[in-house]
Structure 1
Amino acid sequence: MEKKAWWKESVVYQIYPRSFADSNGDGIGDLNGITEHLDYLRDLGVDVLWLSPVYQSPNDDNGYDISDYKAIMADFGTMEDFDRLLAEAHKRGLKIVMDLVVNHTSDEHPWFVESRRSADSPYRDYYIWREGKKGGPPNNWGSFFSGPAWEYDEASGMYYLHLFSKKQPDLNWDNPKVRNEVYDMMTWWCDKGIDGFRMDVISMISKDPALPDGPVDGLYGDTGPSCCNGPHVHEYLQEMNRRVLSRYDLMTVGETGGATVEDARRYAGEDAGELNMVFHFEHVGLGGGELGKWTDRRIPLRELRAVLNRWQTGLEGTAWNSLYWDNHDQPRAVSRFGDDSPLWRERSAKMLATCLHMMKGTPYIYQGEELGMTNAYFHSIGDYRDIESINAFHELTEQGLATEEEILHYLRAMSRDNARTPMQWNRTPNAGFTTSTPWIAVNPNYLTINAADEEADPESVLHYYKKLIRLRKQYPIIVYGKFLPLLEDDDAIYAYERRLDAQRLTVACNFTRDPQPCALFGSIKGGQELISNCGSHKPGMLQPYEAVAMLHES
């Protein structure tokens, strides 16, 4: 029998605070802006709010470079504002999950400031410092944000490791003092009353101590084999669980780049003593080309289905899935996996929602996804704020690997800034996000895609999400039913069945603009149509981007 848990039955809503709601007119979203919209989130029906980092930060990587884990970034408000947000959320039955970023800190964190001061500093071993080799870095690793993963320090003549920005030095988790500092900080937040952690790149905290060169991929070596799912990562997470997580009733989800289904069973197995669930990247990592993620390639349904089905069936009965189409690091779901043209945007957004929310696992909604918000399609590199996008533009154009227009084309498809444009609340200037100039441009389509208009339209994407969430709370089969794939060789229809006792839930989603023959529902007698995005379903055919979920007895 499946073990029941509140986090399995929850729907999570991710908030990117900088872009959610600006309460003080400085162009930057803030904590009070979130508090002002808690009723919207309660009415949507979600249970958990995951906040991207709100800690004190120089903001080199939009808050994922933390200089003080126990302080709030001034852009977002004060700790008193956070305490009020937490209290008001709890009043409404909403839980708060914090983003835990402990693979690295900011280079302005006091630990690193002291670490950098001297090779004899007691904080030197809080980070990963090494001597160079043959006048260069310790190895050939490349940063995920372009360039080398090592930064030379003139004062000491040594290099420090940064898998991301050079302003994000990696912590040395092999040092027990570092782990103790992290656990003490986590305990401080738990005692404050938060409800869990989303753990940023947690699969990278344990590196191969030999620091071997990685297989060359372009200009630099791939860090993955030595930095993802490393030799002590499970030991450290089990220690974290004993010291902190098991002492509270928390939801935990780890961002685990490079993790396989087998790895996930170790991270999130029912009895593993580590995490509740993980985020994998296999489905969003599909479609890469000669320039890696910078491509406009559409993902064939067979490839997408194969990945998602493997995770569904592979974790069945042993671990729990997290379900997502997009987040703050991915382009908008309807633009990448659906069809954001004016004719098909709403229907395909509803189709994607049906496909995801009827699967087994905890669904995550990224802010604006419930409105069918689209990619920004910026025209100039000057429009972008994301360090990854800006670095890629300059590196690829300067090396002659792509023209400026080519890389801008790929950024329009894949940049993280597509997800970071302001939340579209209404038709007033700047979409109701701010009364001044926003930190990043608002998508001009806010005049036709916004929360106010969708609240007033019972057929909107927003109301469709509300219905999906209600159904999840009403029918245990949606949460706990076993997943069985259907039509695995179909190039247009993603279909599957859920089973719980004598109940069956059949789900079919057309991923194309063309009608598709579908015989799945013709033989069902007396079934109950739980949801459809095309009105009442007519058996024998799925209309363009049609999605249907039918409940019936076996």
Structure 2
Amino acid sequence: MGQPRHAPTEWWRSAVIYQVYVRSFADGDGDGTGDLAGVRARLPYLAELGVDALWFSPWYLSPMKDGGYDVADYRVIDPAFGTLAEAEKLIAEAREHGIRTIVDIVPNHVSDQHPWFRAALLGGSERELFHFRPGRGAHGELPPNDWTSQFGGPAWTRLPDGDWYLHLFAPEQPDLNWAHPAVRQEHEDILRFWFERGVAGVRIDSAALLAKDPALPDFTEGSDPHPYVDRDELHDIYRSWRAVADEYDGIFVGEVWLPDTERFARYLRPDELHTAFNFAFMTCPWDARRLRTSIDETLAEHAPVGAPATWVLCNHDVTRTVTRYGRTDTGFDFATKAFGTPADLALGTRRARAAALLSLALPGAVYVYQGEELGLPEADIPLDRIQDPMHFRSNGTDPGRDGCRVPLPWAAGAPYAGFGSREEPWLPQPAGWTAYAVDRQDANADSMLALYRTAIGLRPVFGDGPLTWESAPEGVLAFTRSQARCLVNLADTPTDLPADLQLLLASGPLDAEGRLPKDTAVWLRA
């Protein structure tokens, strides 16, 4: 393979990156919505946690029809969150704490309130920036093709003038036409705008969906190439983006959901994206054989292009780890989400603690979604408070994603668990949420928060070397990196620890004989 293409200064190769969903992180002005003032006030907390960077879900001007992923203006902070000047202060203050900032760009679509789309509705030349088409049928009453929205239902909406426009997500999120040079130029300008303000990187939403077959044909299962997923034209776009990022030493992380590992790796070539999310690991069931296979396949698919793997247990779109691992089906699939799925939270918490040590010991970068370090479970949202369009587009059968977006609990004795002071939070906190509050966990050396802080602090013991699997009983994962070893017991019986290694950290207590119990992980050192 020749010389590696990275240097030790490439912080992103082994970073711990914390995802901030601003709306639910901390409410600085007490109006019920999280904001940049709240994040700035909690920077010491994030520094103590030990994270290297913050990834902010979209904080731009938005009607919030899809949690901010419907962007009306990339150069304006939504007033609910603050101002551009505050964002610049936050980026600078975080850097003073040794924490870099990653912003979220949503290139597949914009809000229907974006100036381009508003002009397009008036019949102007801006229609060329989107996908407007006449309908099929005798009177144009049928959509132009059979594509379906990611949120359910048709991917087309008809306007009063008879034309239809494409939206792979909600109708309020019209897809951009990436074959138009103005669309490409605008996004390169947006990248420069934020790199100029000191951000260290950009997360790319729905990164494999931008390019469409210009003929917009019907979708045929198994068609190659796909009419709108993972088209070859995408790579030219990302090579152009990489040239912009390299001017600023900026990095990219792509949201790339692809089953084909070879196709996935193409996005990580040296002149394209630096990293991409590892969804196979995130959605993998709590099963030793499946987890080991996922780890091996992940490392193998990244090796040919020299890119670091990423490891993540949860994000703003999926069921929280504690709840998922406490269910009979411990994997994650959007298609199987349902109301009333039972979960054993004690079991899920034990497994989530072990999974934290597993993911933090693996080679590459680790993403931590806000609240995972507190062991928050998925919340049940009252039907009349659900806001996620996935719920409504499914005709009410899908519970949506709001359950993992509930505002964080900071102080057990404060109004709204310390999230804010005056108004009830935009999503209700469940009964008992104060049990997870940061101040309570601060006082408990065995809390989930204490485990995350200690693990992130100790993580450098694993060095930057490769992973070597060690022999272990069935159901036990055991690997060594540098001078440190990680053991995770997913078997039904306790397992002995190597006598010649020192115990550094355990996700839970050992048994009376000093053995590693089921659903527990340890870090060991020679």
- Same structural fold, with TM-score higher than 0.5 when normalized by the shorter chain: yes
Of residues 445, 454, 458, the one that matches 1:471 is 458
Give the equivalent residue in structure 2 for 1:232: 233
TM-score by length of 2: 0.89
CA 1:201/1:223 → structure 2, altered by over 3 Å: closer, same or farther? farther
Question: Retained in 2: the 8 A contact 1:323–1:361?
Answer: yes
1:169 aligned partner, one-letter code = P
Count of residues paired in the alignment: 500
CA 1:302/1:226 → structure 2, altered by over 3 Å: closer, same or farther? farther
Q: CA deviation at 1:463?
A: 1.1
CA 1:455/1:59 → structure 2, altered by over 3 Å: closer, same or farther? same
Question: Retained in 1: the 8 A contact 2:510–2:517?
Answer: no
Of residues 87, 104, 107, the one that matches 1:99 is 104
Asked if residue 461 in structure 1 is aligned to residue 448 in structure 2, the reply is yes
Cα deviations by residue, 1:184-237 (Å, 9 ceiling, x for unpaired): 111011111111101111111112223222247xxxx99993222112011110
**Sequence identity percentage:** 34
CA 1:457/1:150 → structure 2, altered by over 3 Å: closer, same or farther? same
Secondary structure, counterpart of 2:488 in structure 1: strand
Secondary structure, counterpart of 2:125 in structure 1: coil
- Whole-angstrom distance in 1 between the partners of 2:225 and 2:316: 21
In the alignment, structure 1 segments of 5+ residues that lack a partner are 287-297, 397-406
Give the equivalent residue in structure 1 for 2:315: 327
Question: Retained in 2: the 8 A contact 1:481–1:498?
Answer: no
Asked if residue 518 in structure 1 is aligned to residue 499 in structure 2, the reply is no
Cα deviations by residue, 1:265-321 (Å, 9 ceiling, x for unpaired): 21123x2x11110014334456xxxxxxxxxxx665544443333112332363211
Question: Retained in 2: the 8 A contact 1:537–1:548?
Answer: no
2:310 aligned partner, one-letter code = S
- Whole-angstrom distance in 1 between the partners of 2:511 and 2:360: 19
CA 1:264/1:536 → structure 2, altered by over 3 Å: closer, same or farther? same
Of residues 347, 350, 354, the one that matches 1:351 is 354
Cα deviations by residue, 1:503-547 (Å, 9 ceiling, x for unpaired): 4x33222347x4x2435x44x63x232321234688894313210
Q: CA deviation at 1:64?
A: 0.4
Query: RMSD in angstroms over aligned alpha carbons?
Result: 2.5
Cα deviations by residue, 1:152-192 (Å, 9 ceiling, x for unpaired): 1222x221110000010111111111100110111011111
Secondary structure, counterpart of 1:43 in structure 2: helix
Asked if residue 444 in structure 1 is aligned to residue 395 in structure 2, the reply is no
- How do 1:86-485 and structure 2 match up within 5 A? 86-118=91-123, 121-134=124-137, 135=140, 136-155=142-161, 157-215=162-220, 225-242=226-243, 244-258=244-258, 260-269=260-269, 271=270, 273-285=271-283, 300-316=287-303, 318-338=306-326, 341=344, 343-344=346-347, 346-378=349-381, 380-394=382-396, 396=397, 411=399, 415-427=400-412, 428-435=414-421, 436-472=423-459, 474-475=460-461, 477-478=462-463, 480-485=464-469
Asked if residue 25 in structure 1 is aligned to residue 25 in structure 2, the reply is no
Q: CA deviation at 1:487?
A: 6.9
1:125 aligned partner, one-letter code = E
1:424 aligned partner, one-letter code = P
Secondary structure, counterpart of 1:529 in structure 2: strand
- Whole-angstrom distance in 2 between the partners of 1:444 and 1:28: 19
Cα deviations by residue, 1:395-427 (Å, 9 ceiling, x for unpaired): x5xxxxxxxxxx6xxx3xxx4112100111121
TM-score by length of 1: 0.84
- Whole-angstrom distance in 1 between the partners of 2:153 and 2:223: 12
Q: CA deviation at 1:393?
A: 4.0
Q: CA deviation at 1:137?
A: 1.1
- How do 1:491-510 and structure 2 match up within 5 A? 492-493=475-476, 495-500=477-482, 503=483, 505-510=484-489
2:20 aligned partner, one-letter code = I
Question: Retained in 2: the 8 A contact 1:141–1:223?
Answer: no
Q: CA deviation at 1:471?
A: 1.5
Q: CA deviation at 1:31?
A: 0.6
Question: Retained in 2: the 8 A contact 1:268–1:275?
Answer: yes
2:383 aligned partner, one-letter code = I
Question: Retained in 2: the 8 A contact 1:334–1:352?
Answer: no
CA 1:148/1:484 → structure 2, altered by over 3 Å: closer, same or farther? farther
Cα deviations by residue, 1:367-414 (Å, 9 ceiling, x for unpaired): 010010111033x422322111232243x5xxxxxxxxxx6xxx3xxx
- Whole-angstrom distance in 1 between the partners of 2:326 and 2:363: 21
Of residues 66, 71, 81, the one that matches 2:71 is 66
Question: Retained in 2: the 8 A contact 1:258–1:280?
Answer: no
1:388 aligned partner, one-letter code = M
Q: CA deviation at 1:122?
A: 2.6
1:15 aligned partner, one-letter code = V
2:495 aligned partner, one-letter code = C
Question: Retained in 2: the 8 A contact 1:312–1:483?
Answer: no
1:483 aligned partner, one-letter code = L
- Whole-angstrom distance in 2 between the partners of 1:232 and 1:224: 11
Question: Retained in 1: the 8 A contact 2:148–2:155?
Answer: yes
CA 1:241/1:165 → structure 2, altered by over 3 Å: closer, same or farther? same
Moved more, 345-354 or 57-66: 345-354
Cα deviations by residue, 1:335-365 (Å, 9 ceiling, x for unpaired): 1135774644543332110111111110011
Q: CA deviation at 1:142?
A: 0.6
In the alignment, structure 2 segments of 5+ residues that lack a partner are 328-342
Give the equivalent residue in structure 2 for 1:294: none
Q: CA deviation at 1:33?
A: 0.6
